Amino acid sequence: MTSSVVHCPALFLTAPASNQGKTTITAALARYFTNQGKVVRVFKTGPDYLDPQILAQASKQPVEQLDIWMAGEEYCQDMLYQAAQVADLILVEGAMGMFDGEPSSADLAARFGIPMAIVMDVKGMAQTAAAVATGLANFRDDVQVAGLIANRCGSERHAELIRDALPANLPLLATLKRDEEITLPERHLGLVQADEVKDELEVRFEAAVEWLKETQDTGLLALPNAVPFYATKQVDDNQVIEQSLQGKTIAVARDAAFSFIYDANLIALKSLGAEVVFFSPLHDQALPDADALWLPGGYPELHSKVLSENLSMRQAIKAFFHSGKGILAECGGMLYSLEDLTDLDNQCYPMLGILAGQGAMRGKRGCQGMQTAVIPQGEIRGHAHHRSRSANTPEPVGYGRRQRHPAPGEAIYQQKGLTASYLHLFFPSNLDVTAKIFLAGQQG
């Protein structure tokens, strides 16, 4: 019989703001302990596709999202409990600043009792870094802070000034020198996808391990204290839902153009009884035999010419659409579904044409945020993050409901079996709605 509580060392990497080096340091720590033969399970706070790819390669273990709003407390609790049963160390990388968002990284850490380490880019400051860290550590009584990680620290004298200014109960865990060779590569929506730079990342991970070892403060290189993780009290009342995709095959687009896929979503589809197969709109000439399609987000704008020139695939998906079977097209998948797409070089290419309208990239301006998709099938949570626009699209069947703002969120379109939107859906937040989307045209 499995114990209802499992203890596992755990640390939550947070920061006063974005771009402080959280992902680089989390990846370096994951590889450091993995090289020691430890099983390191890493989680990423909030909706994110690119960081988890990096962290999964660094840890050589699957990486999933933790978000109390998007997934629910019970889901997060269950993910941590399952990880604690197999891991020697759990690392959680926060999002944005420590107290940003509702719920914030601090809310998540407080809820599950995980101590936080503050990552701070200390270039251009010394004692002030200690003051900011002290303020963050004392802002709330329910958050435990293990110490400060001083990133981009210029010298041992620089580190000494910070160390001496910190209170005794807030140690300097590590002082990491400035090293641009460690920094992870980026592009317009964030980090470059791990599959595109696997070999380069391996070099950077191993260099990052040596980078960690050079710190004069070694608190970060020891396993943190163990944290109790508790089993959820789940009631098996989902038997009908679990059978709802039994015998169905869902074909998922997955290649360099379409890769924004939560592992949790694939697990959810399989838990509903579906068989999941993959295909490449870039390279394949035909669809696999399937009852439904999922066109996830990604970077179709970087591959629009090749997507457009793959006429046999475009025709195959059009035929699938006209059959009335279920298709879910999210963000980049929706852009692919439109009549044409104008890329970052202002070149326009024909796309699938299964949804009326045109898509176009718009540089650095964009839209992001947590939203609940409100559609005839019900409500399901997700998020938006895009730097494109669409025009001349049909009348929506619904809109996203923003987490904290009354204005309508992203438009959601449904035609025949197609559901299309800029929203990226998190399937575990409502398995019943997920199944209904993919079963479009097949009920009854």
Catalytic center residues: 331
Tokens 């904290």 sit on residue: 404
- Which structure tokens are listed for 289? 């035999």
Residues 13 and 92: beta-carbon distance below 8 Å: yes
Contacts of residue 239, defined as CB under 8 A and 6 or more positions apart, other chains included, come to none
End-to-end CA gap in the chain? 41
Residue 146: count of CB within 10 angstroms of its CB: 20
Cβ pair 329, 337 in contact under 8 A: yes
User: Which residues share a beta bridge with 322?
Assistant: none
3-state secondary structure of 325: coil
Q: For strands 292-295 and 326-330, give the pairing.
A: parallel
Do 77 and 230 touch, CB atoms closer than 8 A?
yes
Q: What's the Cα-to-Cα distance from 435 to each of 249, 307, 383, 430, rounded to whole Å? A: 12, 28, 19, 9
Handedness of CA 345, 347, 348, 352 (dihedral sign): negative
Per the CB < 8 A criterion, the answer to whether 422 and 369 are in contact is no
> Crossing angle, helix 105-112 and helix 73-86, to 10 degrees?
60
